[in-house]
Amino acid sequence: MINFPIPATDWSLLLPIAMVALTGIFALIIEMVQPKRDNGPIVAISLFGLLLAAIQLGIQFQAPETVSFAGTVRRDAFSLAMQLVIVLGSMATILFSDAYLRAKKIPFAEFYPLMLWSTVGGMLMCASTNLLVIFVGLEILSISLYVLAGISRNEAKSEESAMKYFLLGAFASGFLLFGVAQLYGATGSLDLNQISPAWQTGDVNVRTLLVFGLGLLLIGMGFKASFFPFHQWTPDVYQGAPTNVTAFMATAGKTAAFAVLYRLLEASRDLSAFWVPALGVIAALTMLYGNIVALQQTDVKRILGYSSISHAGYILVALMAHGLMPDKIGPQTVVYYALTYTFTTVGSFAVVALSARDSGESTELADLRGLLQRDPISAVSLVVFMSALIGIPPGFSGLFGKLFIFQDAVAAGLLPLALVLAVSSIVSVSYYLNIAYQAVVAPREEGSEPVRVPAPGTIQAACAVCVFVVVAAAIAITPITNLIAPK
Amino acid sequence: MTLEQFLLNFTIFHPLLGAAAVALLARDAKQSKNIGTVVSLVTLALTVFLAARLNATQFQLQFVTSVDWVSALGIRYAVGLDGTNAWLVVLSSLMTLVAVSTTRDDTKNLKGFYALIFALQTAMLGAFTALDLVLFFTFFELTLLPMYFLINFWGTGNARKTAAKFLIFTFAGSVFTLIGIAGLAITHRNVAGSLEFGLIELQSMVANGKLWVGSESQTVLFWLFALGFLVKAPCFPFHSWIGDTYEDSPKAGPILSSAMVKLGSYGLLRFCLPLFPEAVQSQAPILIGLATVSILYGAIAAIAQTDMRRLMGYSTLSHMGFVLLGIFSLSYVGMVGAAFQQLAHGVTTAILVVLVWHLLEQYGTAKLDAFGGLKAKMPIFSLLFFLGLLGNVGLPGTMGFVGEFTALMGAFESGARGTFGISVGFAAAAGAGVVLAAVYLLVMYQKVFYGPERLQEGPDWTDVRAASMVPVFGLIGLMFVGGLYSTVFTAPTEASTQAIRLMATSLPTQRPSLSNPDQKIDLEPTAQQGALVDTRTGTVITPGRLRGYVVAPVPTVAEVNP
């Protein structure tokens, strides 16, 4: 008998992730036995599975913080909260996906299982501090997304998007793995939390490895989170991919990357002398570049792509503040911002998804014209989302998200970055307003009658849910922050 | 909860009910307008009632409702009234009433129009009464989108660009205010261990001199705060949105804006002065300089305008300059005058705005050179216009005179004493603004109402019906009542204004504290204790030479009972 030590395992830690994964498999089986015409049951099952996972995550907030599976899976308030954000974002995306896919004549029901497994990858990234588990999570997330980005097979731009995303994603994975190897070489462990002890006890060689390993990891995650100058893929991929996939990429994919960066910076605060200047410059450039280039765009999906770059810069400021003072500055800001950003972005893309018609879509700004007459609900929702992205009421939670970032930045002594954030968000007002203007005020084209074409019910529902969360998250800050606050 | 507390909260959100009532009940334009007018009359009545119930001798906030909102971060839903905001609340309700009741029935999408006006009113009422920085800021920013769509959807000319300019300018200023708010809360945490956004709590920390101990960021935070308010006020060099906004807005825009710009001056009075005393004292010369430039630049720019709407915009810049001049004179007369000038500017500007936009709506233009000889054709209209103009010029007997004169008085007083490095030259230069105001307004009157008739082919020049000008009659009546019985309006503001002044100018431990209900501000000029001290030089400031010239009583020395 070989004495193989089986580490103590607490399966409840993996329960939400397993739920989503199994729902994906179940959805795939249903897809095989069901005729392809009606995806209703699959959508219902996917939403139900995600809902169960969300409830399970909610329940686990009461459970004590713990680490299991030989230290590879971690349950704390931050990991649960970020997983919850990803699950909720995935739900909101799936809610409006069916109407969109049908309008675009993309009949593949594999969409839903892939979406769920991608969610699993994101959740896994949030739930671990083990570099290899994080890497596995990242690949699960990404490989599903590569397929999803190209799922609109008749469109050349969808294929282009998938190819670009795949190539650059693979490239980023390379950086990441190389960084993992270096950190492993320096610490002898795959756990992020070994960075700090290794730095304190290590000699020059170890420290060099640590700095380079950290740098490579940051580059790898920078691709995923689309920080300047690793953002090049973002606008093209966002524009080419089906709109619901874009919504998911821009929210869940980034949220997972932010979760990893959060752990990474927290674990390497001893190295802050290295990463503060580097990330400071990257954050400033990301914020400014995203917003300035967005001014020039005429395609709504591209605009939202650049907007997501700049918001990644905003969150990076909060991540840096936390990394500098992990004891004083908690996870509230990052989680709150990720939550509101997820729902504003998914909601905006849900409105953009309305433009899908007959295996094509036209997402120019001008196509939004007359939206108020066609479908007042989505037009007004779009105004709320834009106001939240600017950070003014009625998108209340956008305002609070900014306030929290400013607070953290000032507390951590990052006032210059707060000022850059302020300036770049002033720049952003103009293109967000332009979207709202086109949807509400701009005159329709000559000759076209004000026809009321109500949006599909599920898209309206997705808009309404997102508006509700964006407004309610501002009223319910106390419960949210209490939930996240470390016990 | 007392009746007044309930009514204050109810009043803030009452306009939203009005918007819902208009949307659900009204079947045609006439009904929309009637319901809207009734709703805004009720709001006005409520605000007047609340202002009348205010205990004028008390400087502490009254009818305060304070509920924890985000307990972990120290954010509250807290509202209250005192002499500083009571009249501004009334003013914003009055302006809403004027805007609603002067809207034409053929305005497109009338329900949406009223909904935005009422949303704007709730935002203003909330911002004027909020006692929590985050709550204030939320309401402050809530004014942006309604105004943006009002200009954009119903505006004329280059409305799209103007609306965006308005929003971007205001946002650009206020986003720095948000950093300031965050910085202030962090400063409090560094001293007391917890984040704090409540005005009363923060001010009492300032009053006992604890908040800024060991902090070198007071001046930086002050400017971050002030930036948003100076843009909103507007103040040179952050003013360039005001001319466009006036030119391209629908009539309701400038009317509501004449209440909304007070959010800027109010923000300075309510937050900047009490919370950043040392910074206010050291920066007062710069701010009073900006105010003076605003007065002169606004007036000179107004002279150069060819469009009456733009002229009114620059006139607002000039008139609001007097408010800022009064505030940063940091003298009692000047600050009471500034508080009064806020009301005066709102009332007198609204009169001319209604009349100028009447011309625009009737004849499709508001260019100065498009009109001429109107006096013979439209006698009632020209009389009303002339009366409104007198108020704007600042003729004695009108509200405009009292506001500008007392603000100037305050600047002279501080200048003559040399307190806080304020030079009497500012007051002298600002005085020229009064003369320039007469120039641009009388030139406008001359071009439009005298001289040859230029618009030959126009529609028939029928005079206005007196019945359609009821709001204007009301405002003109108010303008004279306010000018002749100004103490009715100044008396309730005096205790609060004096308290704010002492909060900004006294030595740390001698400052009045909003959280101490037993403190009294003595307005009688006899008391010698707690004399005003120039904290930079440490010298006791003696009563000045210019005492006794003013409309309101001038206690230059006030007693502060600890």
pLDDT in tens, A131-181: 999 999 999 999 999 999 988 888 888 888 999 999 999 989 999 999 999
Distance, in Å, from the CA atom of A459 to the CA atom of A96, rounded to the nearest integer, reads 5
Average pLDDT score over residue span B426-449? 92
Confidence of residue B556 (pLDDT cuts 50, 70, 90): very low
Distance, in Å, from the CA atom of A362 to the CA atom of A347, rounded to the nearest integer, reads 18
Q: Which of A381, A390, A392, A419 to mutate to test the interface with B (most CBs of B within 10 A)?
A: A392
Contact B94, B16 (CB under 8 A): no
Residue A357 bridge partners (DSSP) = A360
Q: Is A354 exposed, middle or buried (0-12, 13-18, 19+ CB in 10 A)?
A: buried
pLDDT at B464 over 90: no
Write down the pLDDT at residue A356.
76
Name the phi and psi angles at A374, rounded to 5.
Answer: -65, -50
Determine what percent of chain B is predicted with pLDDT higher than 90.
57
Which tokens in the block code for residue B414? Answer: 């501080």
Q: Is B313 exposed, middle or buried (0-12, 13-18, 19+ CB in 10 A)?
A: buried
Q: At how many degrees (to 10) do helices A415-440 and A272-294 cross?
A: 20
Contact: B182, A383; criterion CB under 8 Å? no
Residue recorded with tokens 């397993």: A18
C-alpha distance across the termini of chain A, in Å: 43
Of A396, A406, A433, the CB nearest to B178: A406
Confidence of residue B364 (pLDDT cuts 50, 70, 90): confident
Residue recorded with tokens 């806020």: B342
Confidence of residue B460 (pLDDT cuts 50, 70, 90): low
Better-predicted residue by pLDDT, B364 or B257: B257
Distance, in Å, from the CA atom of A167 to the CA atom of A190, rounded to the nearest integer, reads 26
Which pLDDT tens digit goes with each residue over B335-350?
999 999 999 999 999 9
Write down the pLDDT at residue B473.
93
User: Of A20, A172, A7, nearest to A73 (Cα)?
Assistant: A7
CB pairs under 8 A between A and B: 99
Instruction: Tell me which chain B residues have a C-beta less than 8 angstroms from the C-beta of A391.
Output: 175
Write down the pLDDT at residue A72.
86
- Tell me the Ramachandran region of residue B330: left when phi exceeds 0, alpha when psi lies from -120 to 50, beta otherwise: left
Residue recorded with tokens 């000038």: B341
Q: Is B245 exposed, middle or buried (0-12, 13-18, 19+ CB in 10 A)?
A: buried
Instruction: Tell me which chain A residues have a C-beta less than 8 angstroms from the C-beta of B182.
Output: 403, 406-407, 409-410, 418
| Residues of A (329-368) whose Cβ lies below 8 Å from B | 332
pLDDT at B471 over 50: yes
Contact B257, B199 (CB under 8 A): no
| Cis-peptide into B234, omega within 30 deg | yes
How is A282-293 classified by DSSP, letter by letter?
Answer: HHHHHHHHHHHH
Q: Which of B68, B75, B76, B145 to mutate to test the interface with A (most CBs of A within 10 A)?
A: B145
Which chain B residue's Cα is nearest to A423?
B172
Distance, in Å, from the CA atom of B415 to the CA atom of B329, rounded to the nearest integer, reads 8
Average pLDDT score over residue span B281-289? 92
Q: At how many degrees (to 10) do helices A457-475 and A77-103 cross?
A: 160
Which of the 8 DSSP states describes residue A443?
A: P
Coil, strand, or helix at residue B477?
helix
Contact: B70, A429; criterion CB under 8 Å? no
Write down the pLDDT at residue B549.
32
Average pLDDT score over residue span B407-429? 88
Write down the pLDDT at residue B536.
54
Which of the 8 DSSP states describes residue A308?
A: H
User: Of B198, B170, B200, B8, nearest to B90 (Cα)?
Assistant: B8
Which tokens in the block code for residue A417? Answer: 């970055």
User: Of A315, A276, A342, nearest to A90 (Cα)?
Assistant: A342
Residue recorded with tokens 């999570």: A137
Radius of gyration, alpha carbons of chain A: 22
Alpha helix segments (H runs only) across B103-158: 110-129, 133-142, 144-154
Angle at alpha carbon of residue B127, lines to B353 and B213, rounded to 5°: 130
Instruction: Tell me which chain B residues have a C-beta less than 8 angstroms from the C-beta of A387.
Output: 145
Alpha helix segments (H runs only) across B450-485: 470-484
Residue recorded with tokens 């030089």: B537
Instruction: Tell me which chain A residues have a C-beta less than 8 angstroms from the C-beta of B152.
Output: 437, 440-441
- Provide the Cα torsion A65, A68, A73, A78; round to 10°: 0
How is A95-158 classified by DSSP, letter by letter?
Answer: HHHHHHHHHTT---TTHHHHHHHHHHHHHHHHT--BHHHHHHHHHHHHHHHHHHHT--TT-HHH
Contact B94, B142 (CB under 8 A): no
Instruction: Tell me which chain A residues have a C-beta less than 8 angstroms from the C-beta of B144.
Output: 392-393
- For B387, the enclosing helix (H) or strand (E) is helix B379-393
Confidence of residue B13 (pLDDT cuts 50, 70, 90): very high
Which tokens in the block code for residue A132? Answer: 């290899």
Of A393, A406, A478, the CB nearest to B70: A478
Angle at alpha carbon of residue A143, lines to A138 and A144, rounded to 5°: 105
B138–A contact, CB cutoff 8 A = yes
Q: What is the Cβ-side half-sphere exposure of residue B181, based on CA atoms within 13 angstroms?
A: 29
For chain B, give the longest Cα–Cα distance: 73
Write down the pLDDT at residue A41.
85
Which chain B residue's Cα is nearest to A483?
B72
Which of the 8 DSSP states describes residue A355?
A: G
Name the phi and psi angles at B509, rounded to 5.
Answer: -75, -10
Which whole-number Å values give the CA distances from B240 to B143, B167, B313, B434, B454, in the listed order? 18, 12, 10, 21, 31
Which tokens in the block code for residue B285? Answer: 């010369």
Contact A341, A469 (CB under 8 A): no
Q: Is B197 exposed, middle or buried (0-12, 13-18, 19+ CB in 10 A)?
A: buried
- For B64, the enclosing helix (H) or strand (E) is strand B62-70
Distance, in Å, from the CA atom of A326 to the CA atom of B95, rounded to the nearest integer, reads 50
Residue recorded with tokens 């329960």: A15
Better-predicted residue by pLDDT, B545 or B533: B533
Which whole-number Å values give the CA distances from B360 to B263, B353, B365, B371, in the listed order? 28, 10, 5, 11
Long-range contacts of A163-166 (CB under 8 A, 24+ apart): A164/A233, A164/A236, A164/A237, A164/A240, A165/A233, A165/A237, A165/A241
Distance, in Å, from the CA atom of B407 to the CA atom of B501, rounded to the nearest integer, reads 14
Which chain A residue's Cα is nearest to B193?
A328
B181–A contact, CB cutoff 8 A = yes
Contact: B69, A477; criterion CB under 8 Å? yes
Contact A87, A123 (CB under 8 A): yes
Distance, in Å, from the CA atom of B271 to the CA atom of B286, rounded to the nearest integer, reads 18
Distance, in Å, from the CA atom of B385 to the CA atom of B348, rounded to the nearest integer, reads 11
CA B164, B262, B85, B476 torsion-angle sign? negative
pLDDT at B131 over 80: yes
pLDDT at B376 over 80: yes
pLDDT at B74 over 80: yes
Distance, in Å, from the CA atom of B430 to the CA atom of B425, rounded to the nearest integer, reads 8
Contact: B178, A437; criterion CB under 8 Å? no
Q: Please tell me the least confidently modeled range out of A267-276, B368-377, B443-452.
A: B368-377
Give the rounded distance of the alpha carbon of B221 from its chain centre.
23
**pLDDT per residue of chain A (487 residues) written in tens, 0 to 9:** 567 777 778 888 889 999 999 999 998 888 888 766 678 888 899 999 999 999 999 998 888 888 888 888 888 899 999 999 999 999 999 999 888 888 888 877 788 999 999 999 999 999 999 999 999 999 999 999 999 998 888 888 888 899 999 999 998 999 999 999 999 999 888 998 888 888 988 888 889 999 999 999 999 999 989 998 899 899 999 998 999 999 999 999 999 999 999 999 999 988 889 999 999 999 999 999 999 999 999 999 999 999 999 999 999 999 999 999 988 888 989 999 999 999 999 999 999 988 877 666 788 888 888 888 888 889 999 999 999 999 998 889 999 999 999 999 999 999 999 999 999 999 999 999 999 999 988 877 665 555 667 778 888 999 999 999 999 998 888 888 888 876 5
Contact B417, B531 (CB under 8 A): no
Distance, in Å, from the CA atom of B111 to the CA atom of B19, rounded to the nearest integer, reads 8
Distance, in Å, from the CA atom of A425 to the CA atom of B535, rounded to the nearest integer, reads 39
**3-state DSSP of B252-288:** HHHHHHHHHCHHHHHHHHHHHHHHCHHHHHHHHHHHH
Name the phi and psi angles at A357, rounded to 5.
Answer: -145, 130
Contact A427, A288 (CB under 8 A): yes
Q: What is the Cβ-side half-sphere exposure of residue A430, based on CA atoms within 13 angstroms?
A: 17
Which pLDDT tens digit goes with each residue over B489-541?
888 898 899 899 988 888 888 888 888 888 887 665 433 333 455 555 555 54
Distance, in Å, from the CA atom of B246 to the CA atom of B360, rounded to the nearest integer, reads 13
Residue B68 bridge partners (DSSP) = B76
